[in-house]
Structure 1
Amino acid sequence: MRIVRLANFVTVHTGGLRTTLRELGKGYQDAGHEAVLIVPGRGFKDQQTSQGRVITLPSAPIPRTGGYRVLAGRRELIKLLDSLEPDRIEVSDRTTLRWTGNWARQRGVRSMMVSHESLAGLLGVWGMPKRDALADRLNRRTAEAFDTIVSTTGFAAAEFRRLGVPNLVEVPLGVDLEVFHPGREDASVRSRYARADELLVVFASRLSAAKRPELAVDTVAVLRNNKVPAVLVVAGDGTRRTSLAYRAARLPVRFAGHIADRKAVAALLASADVVVAPGPVETFGLSALEALACGTPVVVDEQSALPEVIGDAGIAVPGTAEAFADAVSQLMERPREERRAMARARAERYGWSRAVEGFLNAHGAQPAPALIRPAVPRPRPVVRPTREPGADEAGATRYA
């Protein structure tokens, strides 16, 4: 069957979402289905990739968001969806694309909304008043518009569960256990950032308010004050980059920027002593899971979904620099081989094949019998851009 996926807010800095879209698309293709992804970008593009067909529609950037774009041309998108004739649609945006649920219902197409974030949590980060009431109202509308709501953790499912949503399904995401592996540890990578007698701490995420990168910097400040020779590497970019540099001016903080090469990211994570993930509204936290897969323990905010993901392979604490620093020191008291083995063992519970199976179950689209052969796509409709093409791209059931 043809599964058409739509996503907004996809940039080079949205590593978790990009990874999820890529791995699910590849999994759908391998399972004998045809995957089509529609995303916004600078110019029109229609290409066949390892994750299936990817169509990029021209979209203007949203001011002061770090380059985010949305599929704003509803008439153009409806025309494209009608031409694609999907059997299923899968939507990764609960705000600007919620209307596609009604489009699908009118045409007899089954629909799925993937909840990648806690709406109430994000509203809290943005300082919105009466956030719970607003989130409940919007979440109820979302649940009514789509046949299935997928959440990736119990934390993410909670705001739908409290509404008694009957079409809620919980499906954990996965991690690439081959790319992210303890064998990626590299002494030359480590020496690039820290001396042999220093503690290498890594923050690998988008530099936005929701991720709280400032807490990573403050954690290293506390560690240094406690006479722990800690060094922080910040792997990522975003709107908080400049303010973060000012905050870290007198501290041993190295800014690596956005690292596009996944193997290079894996080498950094595997070479670190500990990774910190201070975001309080993380609903899964792929970067933390990637760290565990590399054999590196993680300190996370206890308010997020990450405690249920990392288990005893890390430590969950309140969102203060003192608590994070203390947790880092506690992890370093564990024997090195023990903490690395625990981290890897935890990550091995989360393979992408299991995530793909769970998503297909949620779609009511079991893997096709011909799993060992590629999907045979139906004839591709010709999609023509409306503008001149640019040069660039653009209670819950748990399936384990």
Structure 2
Amino acid sequence: MRIAQLANFIGPASGGMKTAVERLGAGYADAGVPRLLVVPGARDARTSTEHGDVVQLRAPMVGGGYRMILEPWRVVDLLEDFAPTSIEVSDKSTLMPVTRWARRRRVGSVLLSHERLDAMLSLRTGLGTGPGVRAPVQVLNRVLVRQFDTVVVTSRFARHEFRSVAAAAGTALHRIPLGVDLATFRPVPARAGRGDVLRLVHAGRLSREKSPHLAVATAVALHRRGVPVRLDVYGTGPHRGELEALAGSAPVVFHGHVAGRGELARRLARADVALAVCPGETFGLAVLEALACGTPVVTAAYGGARELVDADCGAWADPDPELLADAVVDLAARPATPARTAARARAEQFCWSTSVDSMLAVHAGVTGPERVEPRGGRTERTA
């Protein structure tokens, strides 16, 4: 088995999906599977790592901090040399021509879907999820499922988008939850109890599809009620100015990007409650990272993140600031120690080794005994 991972990322703030691809790739390599990772960047570069080669292809900025590979034939050239038995694509746009190469070469193809398009478009445009959004998304998804041998989603919420179109196309659909780094994200030893101020935290990209506005508005609602509160916001993005204006005089502190995941973990662990309130999140690594730090989470009543939070380790409400503020108050009224213990226990149910094993099984399922001929010689496909 030889796996090529193909991804388009945002950059330093690309967050959950970048982490997922890196952790899966490391797991493949640790299992003895050769792995190539292809990502966009400012310039061409190739780096050899203990987990396989990482190839960065020059790619233009396309808005909002994103870079996108617009020359898929250059990816094909890399694949011809690497001769994968399967490709794993976490992109639904410019890398689609690569799947046609894979089909011709009898190389297995896996779509790792990291966003639900109807939810993302709804949050970005404010148009809701009516026919104007659903119809074009369904058309695109019908095309997508016919390009791949298998589609992988990370939650029941994400699976709903593909269930009918995948069945109609005869394309396999798998739900594989992601994991969390339990060693880096962990409770702070001998953490002090709650003080006079309720400490809230929000970590994530400050762009509309991640709903940071809803988190800030929740803190503002609590402040207006007279609740002693402080919200620490970690992350960067195009809407920071809007969020600062929304916060006004409320005690909301914007820290920007935190260098080092260990430092982010320590800050998450010091909070009383984490706000991860995006209703369109297909999974929610930020939720798991907070839970792993022993910090209970308030989330939206629907979406992939809701599937990670149970009644012992958090609370939820419809995505409305006042209702979410009620959920925060209810959660903060519980005894702190049991909630924090339950948060850590919940995170421990999601380990990367399980995710890696499940993904390797998917790749094995699309890998056949056919032969491919890379440049410079013949390589036999074996599972």
Residue 59 of structure 2 corresponds to: 59
Q: 2:152 aligns with which of 150, 175, 191?
A: 150
Aligned-pair CA distance for 1:200? 0.8
Residues 97 and 47 of structure 1, relative CA distance in 2, 3 Å threshold: same
Residue 385 of structure 1 corresponds to: none
Aligned-pair CA distance for 1:273? 0.3
Contact 1:280/1:301 (<8 A) preserved: yes
Indicate the SS of the match to 1:143.
helix
Indicate the SS of the match to 1:364.
helix
Residues 95 and 261 of structure 1, relative CA distance in 2, 3 Å threshold: same
Q: Which has the higher contact order (CA 8 A, sep 6+)?
A: 1
Residues 198 and 80 of structure 1, relative CA distance in 2, 3 Å threshold: same
Q: Distance in 1 between the 2:11 and 2:104 partners?
A: 31
Aligned-pair CA distance for 1:186? 6.4
5+ long unaligned stretches in structure 2: 367-373, 377-383
Which region of structure 1 is more displaced relative to structure 2, 262-271 or 303-312? 303-312
Q: Distance in 2 between the 1:331 and 1:131 partners?
A: 35
Indicate the SS of the match to 1:162.
helix
Deviations 1:319-362 (A, max 9, x none): 11111111111111111111001101111110000000111111
Q: 1:173 aligns with which of 169, 175, 178?
A: 178
Aligned-pair CA distance for 1:380? 11
Residue 359 of structure 1 corresponds to: 359
Q: 1:94 aligns with which of 92, 95, 99?
A: 92
Aligned-pair CA distance for 1:164? 4.7
Equivalences for residues 252-263 of structure 1 within 5 A: 252-263=251-262
Residue 284 of structure 2 corresponds to: 285
Residue 307 of structure 1 corresponds to: 306
**Aligned residue identity for 2:3:** I
Deviations 1:145-191 (A, max 9, x none): 0001000111101011133534111111000111111136767xx9x
Deviations 1:249-275 (A, max 9, x none): 311111111113000010011110000
So what's the TM-score if we normalise by structure 2?
Answer: 0.90
Deviations 1:57-90 (A, max 9, x none): 1111113x1x210111123222222122111100
**Aligned residue identity for 1:136:** Q
Residues 261 and 50 of structure 1, relative CA distance in 2, 3 Å threshold: farther
**Aligned residue identity for 1:245:** E
Alignment partner of 1:15 is 2:47: no
Q: CA RMSD in A?
A: 2.0
Contact 2:188/2:270 (<8 A) preserved: no
Q: Distance in 2 between the 1:103 and 1:299 partners?
A: 44
So what's the TM-score if we normalise by structure 1?
Answer: 0.86
Q: Distance in 1 between the 2:25 and 2:67 partners?
A: 21
Residues 183 and 380 of structure 1, relative CA distance in 2, 3 Å threshold: farther
Indicate the SS of the match to 2:231.
strand
5+ long unaligned stretches in structure 1: 367-378, 382-400
Aligned-pair CA distance for 1:301? 1.1
Equivalences for residues 98-177 of structure 1 within 5 A: 98-127=96-125, 130-165=132-167, 166=170, 167-177=172-182
Identity %: 42
Q: Distance in 1 between the 2:346 and 2:375 partners?
A: 42
Which region of structure 1 is more displaced relative to structure 2, 264-273 or 311-320? 311-320
Contact 2:142/2:166 (<8 A) preserved: no
Report how many residues are paired.
Answer: 361
Q: Distance in 2 between the 1:354 and 1:131 partners?
A: 35
Aligned-pair CA distance for 1:99? 2.3
Contact 1:208/1:240 (<8 A) preserved: yes
Q: Distance in 2 between the 1:161 and 1:301 partners?
A: 23
